[in-house]
């Protein structure tokens, strides 16, 4: 079944599964135990930490394993309860794992400003400069948007944060495996990642935390993860994520080229099959392989169901309930009119998609939008 929803999640890579099977079967010791089985499990975790750190040019001590990308974001944001400065600058197009948390923190005295975006889904660095207040204690702006794939002017934003002496966190969940990521190049203080977005297992992620960046744990208990994240570690999950990151490092250029090619073939064919289609996002600054397309006069939930019936799986940014479609907040923030918003689908391609699959997808879209 052609699967075109890789921004939602990716199928596990066979080599990752193999690694996890071996680790699940043979490394049962609690990594905190000091006997041989425990030490073996600990060694597996530390091997993954080294691989992951090396892949993003970080130090091993700067990697904190978590249960998801959402948890990494939550850890950073809930940490503000104990901070002196309680204002956050974020953006209007963050994932709910940032925006909903910021809303929940408001009754606790933590305020936030959500920067607007332009119709390409990008923040203006000057808006960040203007939003900084004397009590701004954190800037949290995603690097790549999950619905439209736009890449933020991250270096310019970080430069502003550095000049103001404010820690910068980025939700980078949609980046790894799509574009090069080096913490030497992107000088964020904290970045959140999630394994299931790059052919790793679900339910495991990590936070990169630059040395000396202040952070409080979200989950307290044992002293795991240098006391930043209590709980017996998900040893097979962490090992699988380490392998998935190693594969990203090894194959990044090849994967990027493949996705770029699929995207360009799809765009070519979809514009011919559906001449009225509108492509959203930023043509210049976007990750390869993600296409947000609106089909004026159509409803995204109906299109999605028709594709699903033909065994083609895609996603819509808008949520549907009780027969109506709720517009996507991301597209709303990009000032996309409501009728266009509710007619939008997201196609996100992956390593196992082929040229003929994306050509067939465009052909089917032509049929179902004209019929």
Ligand X SMILES: Cc1ncc(COP(=O)(O)O)c(C=O)c1O
> Does 58 interact with ligand X (rule: CB under 6 A)?
no
Q: Closer to ligand X at the Cβ: 194 or 369?
A: 194
Rounded to a whole number of angstroms, the CA Rg of the chain reads 21
With CB atoms as reference, the residue minimizing the distance to ligand X is 69
> Does 235 interact with ligand X (rule: CB under 6 A)?
no
The number of residues that bind ligand X (CB under 6 A) is: 12
Choosing from 2, 69, 242, 327, the residue that interacts with ligand X (CB under 6 A) is 69
Q: How far apart are CA 134 and CA 136, in angstroms?
A: 6
Taking residues 73 to 112 in sequence order and writing x for each that binds ligand X by CB under 6 A, - otherwise, the string is ----------------------x-x---------------
> Does 70 interact with ligand X (rule: CB under 6 A)?
yes
Provide the annotated active-site residues: 320
- List the Cα angle 363/368/369 in 5-degree steps: 100
> Does 10 interact with ligand X (rule: CB under 6 A)?
no
> Does 171 interact with ligand X (rule: CB under 6 A)?
yes
> Does 269 interact with ligand X (rule: CB under 6 A)?
no
Choosing from 56, 173, 244, 287, the residue that interacts with ligand X (CB under 6 A) is 173
> Does 68 interact with ligand X (rule: CB under 6 A)?
yes
> Does 244 interact with ligand X (rule: CB under 6 A)?
no
Candidates 103-111, 167-175, 273-281, 333-341: pick the segment binding ligand X (CB under 6 A). 167-175
CB of residue 146 to ligand X, shortest distance in Å: 3
> Does 194 interact with ligand X (rule: CB under 6 A)?
yes
Give bridge partners of residue 206 from the DSSP assignment.
65, 193
Residue labelled with tokens 């996603």: 315
> Does 149 interact with ligand X (rule: CB under 6 A)?
no
Q: Write out the residues near ligand X by the rule CB under 6 A.
A: 68-70, 95, 97, 142, 146, 171, 173-174, 194, 205
């Amino acid at each position: 079944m052609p699967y075109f929803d890789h921004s939602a999640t990716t199928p596990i890579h066979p080599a990752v599964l193999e690694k996890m099977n071996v680790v699940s079967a043979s490394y049962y010791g609690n990594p905190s135990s000091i006997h041989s089985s425990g030490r073996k499990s600990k060694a597996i975790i530390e091997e993954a930490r080294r691989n992951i750190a090396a892949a993003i040019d970080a130090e091993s001590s700067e990697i904190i394993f978590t249960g998801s990308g959402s948890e990494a974001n939550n850890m950073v944001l809930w940490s503000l309860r104990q901070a002196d400065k309680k204002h956050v600058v974020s953006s209007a197009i963050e994932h709910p794992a940032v925006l909903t948390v910021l809303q929940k923190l408001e009754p606790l005295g933590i305020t936030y400003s959500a920067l607007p975006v332009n119709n390409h889904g990008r923040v203006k660095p000057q808006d960040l400069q203007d939003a900084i207040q004397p009590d701004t204690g954190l800037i949290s702006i995603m690097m790549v948007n999950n619905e439209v794939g736009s890449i933020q002017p991250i270096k310019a934003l970080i430069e502003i944060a550095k000049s103001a002496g404010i820690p910068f966190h980025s939700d980078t969940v949609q980046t790894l495996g799509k574009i090069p990521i080096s913490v030497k190049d992107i000088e964020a203080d904290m970045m959140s990642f999630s394994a299931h977005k790059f052919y790793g297992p679900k339910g495991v992620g990590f936070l990169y935390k630059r040395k000396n960046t202040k952070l409080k744990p979200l989950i307290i208990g044992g002293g795991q993860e240098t006391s930043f994240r209590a709980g017996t570690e998900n040893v097979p999950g962490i090992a699988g994520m380490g392998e998935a990151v190693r594969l990203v490092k090894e194959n990044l250029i090849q994967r990027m080229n493949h996705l770029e090619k699929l995207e360009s073939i799809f765009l070519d064919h979809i514009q011919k099959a559906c001449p009225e289609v509108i492509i959203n996002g930023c043509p210049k600054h976007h990750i390869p392989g993600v296409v947000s397309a609106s089909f004026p006069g159509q409803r995204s939930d109906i299109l999605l169901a028709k594709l699903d019936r033909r065994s083609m799986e895609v996603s819509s940014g808008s949520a549907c309930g009780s027969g109506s479609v709720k517009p996507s907040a991301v597209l709303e923030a990009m000032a996309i009119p409501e009728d266009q918003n509710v007619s939008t689908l997201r196609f996100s391609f992956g390593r196992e998609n082929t040229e003929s699959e994306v050509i067939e997808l465009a052909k089917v879209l032509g049929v179902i939008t004209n019929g």
